Structure 1
Amino acid sequence: MTGPLSGIKVLDIATLFAGPLAATLLADFGAEVIKIEHPRGDPVRSHGAQRAGIGLWWKMIGRGKRSVTLYLGAPEGQELFRRMVADADVVIENFRPGTLERWGLGYSALREINPRLVLARVTAFGQVGPYAQRPGFGTLAEAMSGFAAMTGEPDGPPTLPPFGLADGIAALTTAFAIMTALRAREATGRGQQVDLAIVEPILTLLGPHITAYDQLGQVPPRTGNRSSNNAPRNLYRTADDEWVAVSTSAQSVAERVMRLVGRPDLVHAPWFASGAERATHADELDEAVGSWIAARKTDEVVAAFENAEAAIAPVYTTADIFDDPQFRALESIISLPDAELGRIRMQNILFRLSETPGAIRWTGPPLGAHTAEVLARYGVDADRLAQLRETGVVR
């Protein structure tokens, strides 16, 4: 094991996205992550695209983890889990509140086994409150946080993202929360419980809408691809029927764009000096920028914006990402050997550390690939493993 988190042992008993992805991020930087799955497997194994019956999402979210099957609803599974907790640093779970307690595996019980344990609990609505017992997924967080209400065209319905946005934000937050708790442990010698509600990180990421409502009574309207904070900011169609994104969050960039498209007169308008004021003139600005872009091909538009030091990017499909020189320079996509599929490509680790870099050690393994290896550490020999298989506790 190498990486800055080498020596940290994580038991990942969560399913699907937010909790497991947090564990993936820790694994990328050297933590030993033991993925404990129900003998049927984490549902993510059958979620989304598959090749030859093998889930491709699992290959990414299961990377760097050891797969162990263990039915925690059975007394034998609970006893083995307690043994594993004894030398673990972190447990990540996303069962409905009260489930671990019903199994005798709540935080108070685990803390007696290992006072240094950090238990990260990732649920839709958190451990307390009137909604705590409701089933929930990231979609509900995207709806209740205000995200869907402010996303979409002004005359259209609220819009949900076509991917696990709230789950992904929660995963990043969970990884940060775990590292914060581990840092606190260095000072106190004690672990603690992390209560993360998926609905909260996306609420924070949406910016000042809570404070704006508190102070001004403002509710953000749906503005499509426009922004209420600056303009021009939109997607524009080029002459070769492609799309580019333009943003002018900085005043100097907004001025460069208008000079580039032949409308320097607008730069001197009294309202142009404020991003919020420019946003109230979005129709006029979009007409100027959009008509200029519509008369030119994408390559010409992008080159002109780059020469003018103005912010622009083409709208990519997944196929375009593979051919982009910047993604290649960053090594954002990595090719890895896989025991089941040969070589596969996926997103690389999230960031680069100059002294203690992370690495993807292997792709998501077959279900239960490490069960015998890991359980042997906790006194399960071949005969006992066979008994556990017969009773369905492991697979």
Structure 2
Amino acid sequence: MSRPPGERTGPLVDLRVIDMSTVLAGPNCARYLADFGADVIKVERPGGDSLRNMAWRDPRDGEGLWWKLVNRNKRTVVLDVKDNADHATLLRLLDEADVLVENSRPGTLERLGLGPDVLLARNPKLVITRVSGFGQDGPYASRAGFATIAEAMSGLVALSGEPEGQPLLPPVALTDEVTGLSAAFATMVALHSGVGQVVDANLLETMFHMMGPLASLFAVTGEQQPRLGAGLPYTVPRGTYQCNDGKWVAASTSSDSVAARVMELLGVGDDVRFTTFAGRTEHRTDLEAIMTAWCAARTQAEVVEAFTAADAAIGPVLDMAEIASDPHYAQRGTIETVPDGLGGTPMQSVIARLSATPGSIRWAGRALNADGAEVAASGWDSPSD
């Protein structure tokens, strides 16, 4: 197999990471480190990570599009950790690694002879990031961890959907993406501490943190946020509104000054019902009807132009076809074409921009065991070493 293209650069260029995780949340954590220069070796079981075969495939080479995105910038190696020789190879790599990312059910590493007690005794500086569904302990720890379950049990799904309708799940892998970010953040905090340790990151508590003060609200008042479709209980108008060309906009008035400008725009600036947050909330139905009718009388472009001129919060509801031709996305380079020998694969660029030490995308997710021979022969030696 050919070596990965592109020189590895970035603020984490000295960081060595073993990614033993599968599918999404754990691999996302390792991907964020790789995007900023870390040398990430993706260790797959024989047959490969099931993410390779999930959902859509690139018709040019048959590879999974999820795989190309989530495992970009990583070297790929197949190791059977139940095989003595492969087990020894993995331990040698971990002896010199800075981070291990894994997302097996709690107890699995221990049964394989790779528990934190073993690894930290061999490499006291190692940060072991364990991504699971429910955490490393507690009554649910041994359950299979899936984003759908975390979304249901975190409070998110109870809030999502129409008031009298079905609770709705997110239509994207929201929990896996957010947990990857929080796990990467926690990993960097652990590394900054200079102390080898275990990072316990999980899907449920990550999404629970996304609920803001709702746990406090219930604890001190007994109140629960109701399901309001696209609305919020404390901000009116807020939601999605259809225009007379069939297109939609999303608007928010979560600032009193913005709300005042929107009331003027809607022609109700002098209406005492709508001068305060409390008043707008109390008269939600009336105000939402005014906003809905105002948007329905205009095109999407007219609504966006009027709100923008009033310095109010508005945005068109864009699908992927519209995003692909949007000038802001284009100028910012938010979608980047990654070299892959096929003319390039467009995907999201690096998630955050550092002015002095930026990250970069050097290659998309590679073929199964693409770097196996090289890693077996030279360990951590990589093209930039």
Determine if contact 1:10/1:23 at 8 Å carries over to the other structure.
Answer: yes
User: What pairs with 1:307-322 in structure 2 (closer than 5 Å)?
Assistant: 307-322=309-324
| Pairwise CA distance, 1:331 | 1.0
2:14 to 4, 7, 11: 7
User: What pairs with 1:218-297 in structure 2 (closer than 5 Å)?
Assistant: 218-266=223-271, 268-269=272-273, 272-274=275-277, 276-297=278-299
- One-letter amino acid of the counterpart of residue 263, structure 1: V
Determine if contact 1:239/1:293 at 8 Å carries over to the other structure.
Answer: yes
1:323 equivalent to 2:332? Answer no
1:161 equivalent to 2:162? Answer no
Aligned to 1:376: 377
1:303 to 305, 319, 322: 305
**Could you list the runs of 5+ residues in structure 1 that have no partner in the other structure?**
380-395
**Could you list the runs of 5+ residues in structure 2 that have no partner in the other structure?**
1-7, 381-385
Aligned to 2:111: 102
Q: Runs ≥4 in structure 1, deviation > 3 angstroms?
A: none
Closer, same or farther: CA 277–216 of 1 in aligned 2, 3 Å? farther
Scaled by the length of structure 2, the TM-score of the pair is: 0.94
User: What pairs with 1:199-218 in structure 2 (closer than 5 Å)?
Assistant: 199-218=204-223
Scaled by the length of structure 1, the TM-score of the pair is: 0.92
Closer, same or farther: CA 327–205 of 1 in aligned 2, 3 Å? same
Aligned to 1:193: 198
Partner Cα distance (1:17, 1:70) in 2: 19
- One-letter amino acid of the counterpart of residue 241, structure 1: G
| Pairwise CA distance, 1:344 | 1.1
| Pairwise CA distance, 1:75 | 2.3
Question: Deviation per CA, 1:88-120, whole angstroms, max 9, x where unpaired?
Answer: 000000011111111110000001111100000
Provide the alpha-carbon RMSD of the alignment.
1.3
Determine if contact 2:340/2:364 at 8 Å carries over to the other structure.
Answer: yes
User: What pairs with 1:55-66 in structure 2 (closer than 5 Å)?
Assistant: 55-66=64-75
Question: Deviation per CA, 1:104-150, whole angstroms, max 9, x where unpaired?
Answer: 10000001111100000000011111111111211110000000001
1:183 equivalent to 2:186? Answer no
User: What pairs with 1:108-187 in structure 2 (closer than 5 Å)?
Assistant: 108-185=117-194
- One-letter amino acid of the counterpart of residue 38, structure 1: R
Determine if contact 1:67/1:368 at 8 Å carries over to the other structure.
Answer: yes
- One-letter amino acid of the counterpart of residue 11, structure 1: I
Determine if contact 1:227/1:279 at 8 Å carries over to the other structure.
Answer: no
- One-letter amino acid of the counterpart of residue 350, structure 1: I
SS at match of 1:24: helix
1:351 equivalent to 2:352? Answer yes
Aligned to 1:337: 339
- One-letter amino acid of the counterpart of residue 361, structure 2: I
2:35 to 28, 38, 46: 28
SS at match of 2:275: helix
Partner Cα distance (1:30, 1:47) in 2: 27
Determine if contact 2:269/2:275 at 8 Å carries over to the other structure.
Answer: no
Determine if contact 1:335/1:344 at 8 Å carries over to the other structure.
Answer: yes
Partner Cα distance (1:51, 1:169) in 2: 25
| Pairwise CA distance, 1:277 | 4.0
Determine if contact 2:339/2:362 at 8 Å carries over to the other structure.
Answer: no
| Pairwise CA distance, 1:50 | 0.7
SS at match of 1:161: coil
